Amino acid sequence: MSRKLACFLMALLALAPNPLCRAGGIEGNMERMNKAYKILKKQVADPSKKEANLEAISSLKKNAADSAGGVPEKIESIPQADRAKFIEQYKAAISELVGQIEKLEKALREDRFQDAQKELDEIGKLKREGHSAFIEEK
Ligand code: HEM
């Protein structure tokens, strides 16, 4: 391998894990979260749908956790000096979402269907807050 090529590849490897170099990457997770969220909105309090709801929760949780590894597109409009803080706040909001999904899962596993509905409503709130803070107004 030529020295030039080796240097180029090393530079690529060094940049890849840096989230600041790569905005985006969360749309796929968000879309899968949306599918699961819609199922839950329709039937989370229905005891006969418990198993399907637990599956939807598992997908919601996995995709929420995975979305912490991406960076919102809005980062492009944030001044360089504030970007690390922006990412930190984004990760904290996602972590709160995952915690809330776990509360929902617990309520459902314990057959507390009305509580499950309330926990899901809280998730709806986090979704609205997250979108107003981390999606750029067009
Ligand atoms: C159950 C909760 C949530 C659902 C169902 C949801 C769903 C979605 C959907 C459908 C999109 C549009 C995806 C596309 O562009 O194709 C989206 C985008 C986005 N969501 Fe969420 N979301 C949720 C919670 C959150 C939270 C808590 C945050 C922030 C902490 C967040 C941050 C974003 C951002 C930043 C985008 C724009 C994509 C980007 O900038 O790369 N979402 N979400």
State the Cα–Cα distance between residues 102 and 131, nearest whole angstrom: 20
Q: Which residue segment(s) compose the domain that 33 sits in?
A: 23-134
Total number of domains constituting the chain:
1
* Closest residue to atom 16 of ligand 1, CA basis: 27
Instruction: List pLDDT tens digits, range 24-80.
Output: 689 999 999 999 999 999 999 999 999 999 999 999 999 999 999 999 999 999 999
Residue 81 sits in a domain whose CATH number is 1.20.120.10
pTM score of the predicted model: 0.87
Mean pLDDT of the chain: 90
Q: Could you tell me if residue 4 is inside a domain?
A: no
Kindly state if the Cβ of 28 falls inside 6 Å of ligand 1. no
Q: Could you tell me if residue 11 is inside a domain?
A: no
- pLDDT for the residue numbered 138: 76
Q: Could you tell me if residue 5 is inside a domain?
A: no
Q: Could you tell me if residue 15 is inside a domain?
A: no
Ligand 1 atom, smallest distance to 23 CA:
41
Kindly state if the Cβ of 86 falls inside 6 Å of ligand 1. no
Q: How confident is the model at residue 23 (pLDDT cuts 50, 70, 90)?
A: low
State the Cα–Cα distance between residues 39 and 7, nearest whole angstrom: 49
Token reading at 100:
């809330």
Q: Could you tell me if residue 18 is inside a domain?
A: no
Q: How confident is the model at residue 11 (pLDDT cuts 50, 70, 90)?
A: low
